[in-house]
Structure formats: structure tokens, C-alpha cells
Amino acid sequence: MSKSMKVGWIGFGVMGKAMCQHVIKKGYQVNIWNRTKSKTDEAVSMGAKYLDPEEVAARSDVLFVMLGYPQDVKNMILDERALIKYLNPGSILVDHTTSSPSLAKELYTKCKEKGISSIDAPVSGGDVGAKNGTLVTMVGGDPEPFEKAKEVMEAYSQTVKLMGGAGQGQNTKACNQICIANNMVGVVEALVFGHKAGLNLEDLIKTIEGGAAGSFSLRVLGPRMLKRDFDPGFFVEHFVKDMEIILHEARKNNLCLPGISLSSQLYQALMAHGGAKMGTQALMLALEQINNVKLDDNAKKF
């Protein structure tokens, strides 16, 4: 995709803001919109132009959306804002929101009727990956629009992979979230167990992260837990949304996934005690509560 092609970007959350800034740095012409305009100030200072979402869509050769929930995407593209009416034939819609495979297929079908290409492209890597430009982007859709949009996505991704037709990007992200959710429970349980056993938890993380137990959750989020840093790289409420999508799809396919079911229950408990806007590493608080322990004398309590 030539850098003369115009890029539209809607959604400046924890990850979307950094992702868009990488695109601007690559020299693309970028028009942007976000519900909270102040979150776009830095992007505007870098050269992006802030416009109404309808105008962003109308001026886009490729429009990226990075929103919170499937319903937000549906409202933005098909219903309330109905940006599908403003996208030009031949343009490409890239949905980076972690959403449902069924919505990805609906967007694909309705866009195709209007001569627009739609690809679902959820990402993994959290706030660190977004800031460093090292996200993994999992794509569902047709090869031709994928190849056109791939160059832009490479601005913030270390891997951009077409996984199949419409919805397959979302199915791949579901697999990613299953691994993360189950691993997060394991990391927190290990730290609680290690604390009870009297181990130095910083040494514990450093020792086992280089072996078979190593993971992003242990290496990056484990130290945040010990520092009582529960700021979001990815919101708990969004993670719960992802798990609800997975469990819905599992029921449709007659699958029993006990690990993700348990993880969902634990995160629901965290949400019930005010943890919705915390980062996923705040699962530590739920396990501390269940086990009546605290890993730090100054630990944040429910």
C-alpha cells in the first residue's frame, strides 16, 4: 500500500493510541476520531487530522477501528453511526477490536454488498507490544485487501498473519485468549504458593521464567503484581468480554473448556469487587482474597 493512500483511525484506547502513532510515524496521511477528543492530542501534534467519524470514513482508503466491544463496532459501522454508508467502494475496513466471529462475518457480507473489503484483525501483545510496535496481528478475510492493508499493520506489528476467511482472525484471537487466561491463573497460583512457602517472589520469577514455565504473563505481569501495579495494559472488563465470546462460541460447538470457565469466574469475581478498570494482572487480588493471604503488607485489598 502506497503511503499516498489515506488512513482513517477510530479508537484511542490503551493500545489504539500507540498503534495509530506508529502509523503516523511511518509517513501515512492519517485522519482520526475518538469519543474523548483529548486522547488524540498527541496524534494531532504528530500530523494527524481530527475529523468527525463520517468524514474520516469518507476520506479513508483503509479505515481502522479499535473499539471496546462488539456492540461498539456494530454501532459504529452498521447501526448508529453507520459508517458503512460513508466508506467508498474499493476501500478497506480493518477491525482491530477483539470481537465475535459472527460479527466479523456480518461485516464482511454487508461491506461486500457495497464493494468494500472488510477484514477482522484482532491483536495480541498488550500495552507493551503496542508501544514497542511488536504486536501479533491475526487476520481473517480475503487475500487481496489483506496484502494492501498489511504494510500499514506492519507499522505496529512483529507478525501479521492471514489465518483464513472472515472470522478466522477472531477465532485465532479466541485461542490466544484461552492460553493467556489459563496461564494467568497459573502464574497467580504459583506466586501465592511461593509466598506461602516463604520464597522470595522476585527471585522466583527470575528463576523460572527462563524455563518451561516462562510466559509473557510471568515475565512482564508477574513483576507488576509484586509492585502492586494494577494499571491496565488490558482492561479486566475487556478480558471478561473476550471470555464470554469464547464460552458462547464453545457452547455453539458443543465444546467443554473448563479452564476458561474457571478463569472467567475468577475475573467476574474481581469485576464484582470493583476491578473492571484494572489490568488483567489484578487477578492476584482475587486469589489473595480466596486464600486469605497478601503478598505484601501494603497490599491493595478489595
Query: Which CATH number goes with the domain that contains 179?
Result: 1.10.1040.10
Determine whether 173 is an active site residue.
yes
Banded model confidence at residue 88, pLDDT cuts 50, 70, 90: very high
Q: What is the pTM of this model?
A: 0.92
Which CATH number do you get for residue 158? Answer: 3.40.50.720
Mean pLDDT of the chain: 95
The closest alpha carbon to 99, from 155, 174, 29, belongs to: 174
What DSSP state is assigned to residue 145?
H
For residue range 217-234, list pLDDT tens digits in order.
999 999 999 999 999 989
When pLDDT is averaged across residues 55-84 and rounded to a whole number, the result is: 97
CB atoms within 10 A of CB 49: 16
Q: Give the domain-ending residue among 104, 135, 164.
A: 164
Given 114, 173, 206, 252, the catalytic residue: 173
Banded model confidence at residue 299, pLDDT cuts 50, 70, 90: very low
Q: Give the domain-ending residue among 100, 134, 164.
A: 164
CB atoms within 10 A of CB 245: 22
The closest alpha carbon to 29, from 65, 66, 67, 59, belongs to: 59
Q: How far is CA 243 from the centre of its chain?
A: 12
Banded model confidence at residue 130, pLDDT cuts 50, 70, 90: very high
Q: Are 12 and 155 contained in the same domain? A: yes
CB–CB of 50/44 below 8 Å?
yes
Q: What is the pLDDT of residue 2?
A: 60
Grid coordinates representing 212 are 518451561
Domain presence at residue 200:
yes
Q: What is the pLDDT of residue 104?
A: 98
For residue range 231-268, list pLDDT tens digits in order.
998 999 999 999 999 999 999 999 999 999 999 999 99
Sequence-ordered list of residues with C-beta below 8 angstroms from that of 29, at least 6 positions apart, any chain: 3, 4, 5, 6, 7
Rounded CA-CA distance 80/102 in Å is: 19
Q: Are 219 and 148 contained in the same domain? A: no
When pLDDT is averaged across residues 67-80 and rounded to a whole number, the result is: 96
Q: Are 204 and 125 contained in the same domain? A: no
Q: Give the domain-ending residue among 146, 164, 182.
A: 164
Q: Are 220 and 203 contained in the same domain? A: yes
Q: How far is CA 296 from the centre of its chain?
A: 30
Structural domain that includes position 62: 6-164
